[in-house]
Amino acid sequence: TGVDLVEWQLRVASGESLPAKQEDLTITGHAFEARLYAEDVPKGFLPATGTLTHLSFPAEARADSGVRAGDTISPWYDPMISKVIVHGSTRKVALSRLACALEETQVGGTVTNLAFLGALAAHEGFANGDVDTGLIARDLDALTAAPVVELRHKAAAGMVALDLVEASPDTGFTLWAPLHRAVALSNSGEEFTADVQVDGPDRQLWTIDGETVVAERSQGQWRIDERRMPAVSQSGTLITVHDAYGLEFTAIDPLDRDAAAGGDSNVIEAPMPGLVKAVFAEAGQAVKEGDRLAILEAMKMEHSLLAARDGVVAEVLAAAGAQVEAGAALVRLEEEDG
C-alpha cells in the first residue's frame, strides 16, 4: 500500500485520527515474509540455542532482525533470528524472489529452519496457491528431506576442521614433502572420514568415501571439484557450509565418541538448556514407555520428557526449579535385565 504503519500508529497514539480510510488505499503487488528460526527441524522443530558465528542476508530482501553475528540465541527468549521479506509485482514474482533470498541467506553457529523455508518456497502446491492448514503435515517428509551433500561440501568442511584454508608451516605443510591429515566428521548422523594430501599451499587432494576430489586455489579463491568453494563458518565443533541453505557438519573428537559409546542409554537428558518446571518420577517408581517424567521450560515453551521404555526409576537427578544445560541427566532408569 505504500503506507508507513508505524507513522500511523504514532499519530493515532498522539490523539490524531487515522489519516485515510480502507477504501482510500491501493494495494500494489504481493509480498512474502519468511520467519527464520533457530530450530532443529528433524527433531520436530525443537527450539535451538547457540552463538551466531555468521549471519548474512541478500541485499535484494529486507531482513528485520534483532540479532547479528556474535549474538547468542538463548533459551530465555523466542528463537527467531529474522524476518526475510520480499515484494514483487505479482505473487509469482514475489515468491521467486523469496526463494532466491532464502538460497542466499547464510546462518552459522546454530541449526535453523532455513532449509525448510526454502523447500516450502519451492513447493509446487504452495506456488499454485493450493494452501490449507494441512499442507505441511501432508508433505512433511518432502519439506524436511535432507539436502544432497556432495563430495565438495565434505571437503570444504574438512578443510576448515583441519585449518587448511591457509596451508602453512603452522599446519604441518612444508615445501619438501606432502602433508597427510585426516578428520572424522558427521552430517545428519552419518559419520565419515576425510583424508587429505596437501601438495602445496594452493593444492589439496581429498579422499572421502572412496572418492577423490581436488581443491585448488587461484587468485586467492579456492575451487573444489572445479567449483567455487562456498563460504564456511565454524562454532566449536559445528561447521556450516553455506550452500543448499546451510549444510551442517560436526567435527568428531575420537575421545568424545568413545566416551559417548560407553554412555548410559537409560538416562533421560535435557534436549536443550532450560528450567525444570516439574518432575513426575521418583526412585523405585515403575514407568511405561511414553510416560511423562519431567517438564522442561525453554524458549517460552514447555517440553515433556518421556520415558523411552518400560522400566523402574533408579534415580532422579534434577528437581523442579533447577536450571540445566543441554544434555544434563534428569532421570535414570534401572538397567534392563539381561
Give the Cβ contact number of residue 325 at 10 Å. Answer: 12
**Same domain (yes/no): 295, 193:** no
User: Where among 198, 232, 255 does a domain terminate?
Assistant: 255
Q: SS3 for 134?
A: coil
285 within domain boundaries: yes
CATH number for the domain that contains residue 199: 3.30.700
**Same domain (yes/no): 233, 308:** no
CATH number for the domain that contains residue 111: 3.30.470.20
**Same domain (yes/no): 108, 28:** yes
Q: SS3 for 313?
A: strand
Q: Which domain holds residue 306?
A: 264-333
- List CB contacts of 138: < 8 A, sequence separation 6 or more: none
CATH number for the domain that contains residue 268: 2.40.50.100
275 within domain boundaries: yes
**What is the DSSP annotation of 251-303?**
EPPHHHHHHHHTS-TTEEE-SSSEEEEEE---TT-EE-TT-EEEEEEETTEEE
Distance CA 314, CA 139 (A): 41
Q: pLDDT per position in the chain (338 positions), as tens?
A: 889 999 999 999 999 999 899 999 998 999 999 999 999 998 889 889 889 999 999 999 999 999 999 999 988 888 999 999 999 999 999 999 999 999 999 999 999 999 999 999 999 999 999 999 999 999 999 999 988 999 999 999 999 999 998 865 555 555 545 778 999 999 988 999 999 999 888 999 999 999 999 999 999 999 999 999 999 999 888 999 999 999 999 998 765 554 444 445 689 998 878 889 999 999 999 999 889 999 998 766 788 898 888 999 999 999 999 998 888 999 999 987 75
What are the start-end ranges of the H helices in 83-167?
A: 91-104, 114-121, 124-127, 135-138, 140-143, 151-161
Distance CA 63, CA 50 (A): 20
Q: Which helix (H) or strand (E) holds 183?
A: strand 179-187
Packing angle, helices 114-121 and 91-104, rounded to 10: 150
338 within domain boundaries: no
The pLDDT of residue 274? 85
Residue 196 C-alpha cell reads as 587429505
**Same domain (yes/no): 230, 158:** yes
**Same domain (yes/no): 104, 179:** no
- Total number of domains in the chain: 3
Distance CA 79, CA 48 (A): 7
Please, is 294 exposed, middle or buried when counting C-beta atoms within 10 Å of its C-beta (0-12, 13-18, 19+)? Answer: buried
Is there a contact between 273 and 142 (Cβ–Cβ < 8 Å)? no
The pLDDT of residue 29? 94
Distance CA 35, CA 269 (A): 29
CA-closest candidate to residue 206, choices 238, 164, 245, 166: 164
**Same domain (yes/no): 239, 132:** no
Q: SS3 for 158?
A: helix
CA-closest candidate to residue 275, choices 292, 308, 299, 306: 299
